Structures are given as structure tokens and as C-alpha cells.
Amino acid sequence: MPHQLVPERGSLGIPIGYAKVMRRIAVNLLALLGTVSLTFAQQAPAGTTQTNSYAQLVQKVAPNIVTVRIVAKFEIKAEGETQTEESKFTLQGAVITSDGLIMLSGVLLSSESFKQLAGIQGDEVNFTVTPQSFKVIFGQETEENDATLVAIDSQLAIAFIKVRDLGERKLTPIEFKEVNPTIGSELVTISRLPRGYDYAPYFSTGRVISEVSKPRRAFLLEGNITELGLPVYTMGGEAIGVMVPLSHGLDDEETDFGFRSNFGSNDRALFLVPTSALKPLIEQAIQRASEQK
């Protein structure tokens, strides 16, 4: 039997080339998500009236925020090595129609979205994501409800899934409003903790610190809002957009050390995209879901 060359592997049995790629992906992801919480968290504690507003907003929105358990297959080809893994993870989503259409982040569900977020350019890495299954958990229940993938927008990294059978369950969907925040506007998002914490709802706060027109109209926030793909609300409870990773897309842009020190990247950060950018996606997803019946 001829001698076969065995790829050099690390201590965990992962090919060295593949391990380097995954380390770089992890660094890019952590840099993007870990530097969003700026000085807003150092503000003085909220008064009683504001605390009650938070409580009321959580009570109002939480029933529309679901947990989605996902199984997906990831295949990475890099430096002559191919690694295929089946991964299980959870995301949070928002109910946007009464018949069970749910919006969530598509970063981990789309090959192109994941490559953009991880900073993978060109053909240096061939990366493929294939979602296998979706299970939706409402509120703090334990029952899992099967769902199917309806659509993914790779530009905004937004995905839509549809619950197959709601039975007798009645849903009250989130309605987005075309309200434009201004510099200094305080905003809130509602999400859920993992199963080990009883899927308890929680809120995160942020404040608008900039508005950009390129590469698209969007708002930069400071604070603790890092939940991708979930609605962002005014303190009055109006859903006005979602947080997405946004890259300026300029290949030859010089390093801006001020931007990099604050946001952990030369060319991307998390931005709030307004309702006007979401509406066409939601309408298309509703149409596609109706065609899949």
C-alpha cells in the first residue's frame, strides 16, 4: 500500500490550516460583537419612572420573542483541507405575522453573510452553510415547534422561517413603524436568555450616536444592543428597525485607528437599519411563505 501524506494536525485533531482559519474567524467575530458596548453603560442608574417603562416594554414585547433551535452543516475548505461539521445552536427571533412567520438573524444561516461578518474575502476560503432543521420555542415553554426556512437576505443577514403548525395558538405579530430616531435617542431591544435560564426575557439599551447614508442609511449606536436580527424599539414601544452587521465595502480604505479602537474592525460594525429597509424584505418573505403552502 503506498504511503499517504497525512495533514499536520493540532492537539484537537483539527488540520492546522483549518484551525488557523477558524481562529481568525473567531477573532473577527469577537472583535465585532465585543466592542459595541461603549460609554452608555456608565450612565447614572435609571429613575423609577424609566424603570417602570422598561418593565412595561418587556411585558408587551416578550410574547413576540421566540427561541429558535437550529441544526446546520458547515463546510470549510482552506489550504487544501476540507472540514465538515454539523452544529447545533440557538438564535432568538421575532414573530412578524399572525400565521407564524418569524424574523431572525441570518448571519449563521447564509454562507455569504457569514463570510462577510467573519472578514473572509475572495477565494481564500470556500465556506458553505446548509441549514438542516429549525425548532421554535414560544415564551418559556418546553414544546418545540417545527419550522421551515422561507428566505434569507444575505446583504442584511436577515432570515425568515415559518412555523409549520400553530394548532390553536394565537400570535400577535410585531408591527414596524417608520419612525426615524435622532442623535441621542434612547432605544431598547428585547431578547431571551438560554434554556438553562428558563428562556427568561431581558432588555438591552442603546443610544443613537451617528447617522450614515453610505453604504446605506443606518444608525450607529452606543450601549448594550448587540442582538442581531431582533427589532429595536423606541421607549414608546415602537419597533423602528433591526441591528445588522454593516461593512463599508471599500477594499482600499486606509486603517482608521479611532474607528478600529472603538469597533474592533477596519471596515464593519453593527448598525440599526430602519423599517424602510426591512419592509420590502418582510413583504417578499410573506409572499414566498404563501407560495410554499
Cell triple for residue 240? 423602528
Q: How confident is the model at residue 29 (pLDDT cuts 50, 70, 90)?
A: low
Whether 77 is in a domain gets the answer: no
Whether 275 is in a domain gets the answer: yes
Whether 277 is in a domain gets the answer: yes
| Residue 209 belongs to domain with CATH number | 2.40.10
Q: What per-residue confidence (pLDDT) applies to 218?
A: 95
Domain count, the chain: 1
What stretches of the chain show up as alpha helix (H) in DSSP?
16-34, 48-61, 111-118, 257-263, 275-291
d(CA 75, CA 102): 26
Q: What per-residue confidence (pLDDT) applies to 24?
A: 58
- Determine the structural domain holding residue 194 and report its residue range: 48-62+175-281
d(CA 131, CA 148): 10
d(CA 106, CA 292): 20
Mean pLDDT of the chain: 81
Taking phi over 0 as left and psi of -120 to 50 as alpha, with beta for the rest, 16 belongs to alpha
Burial class (CB in 10 A: 0-12, 13-18, 19+), 52: exposed
Q: What per-residue confidence (pLDDT) applies to 162?
A: 97
Q: What per-residue confidence (pLDDT) applies to 84?
A: 87
Interval 119-172: pLDDT, tens = 666 666 787 889 999 999 999 999 999 999 999 998 899 999 999 999 999 998
User: Which range, 20-24, 91-95, 120-124, 170-174, has the best average confidence (pLDDT)?
Assistant: 91-95
Cell triple for residue 183? 442623535
Whether 134 is in a domain gets the answer: no
Whether 265 is in a domain gets the answer: yes
d(CA 106, CA 61): 21
Q: How confident is the model at residue 50 (pLDDT cuts 50, 70, 90)?
A: low
Q: What per-residue confidence (pLDDT) applies to 252?
A: 63
d(CA 114, CA 108): 6
Residue range 278-287: average pLDDT? 95
Cell triple for residue 226? 448587540
Whether 223 is in a domain gets the answer: yes
Whether 229 is in a domain gets the answer: yes
Residues in contact with 145: Cβ distance below 8 Å, sequence separation at least 6, in sequence order: 135, 136, 137, 138, 163, 164, 165, 166
Whether 260 is in a domain gets the answer: yes
Q: Is the pLDDT of residue 194 over 80?
A: yes
d(CA 286, CA 228): 21
Interval 258-272: pLDDT, tens = 766 666 566 668 899
Q: What per-residue confidence (pLDDT) applies to 166?
A: 93
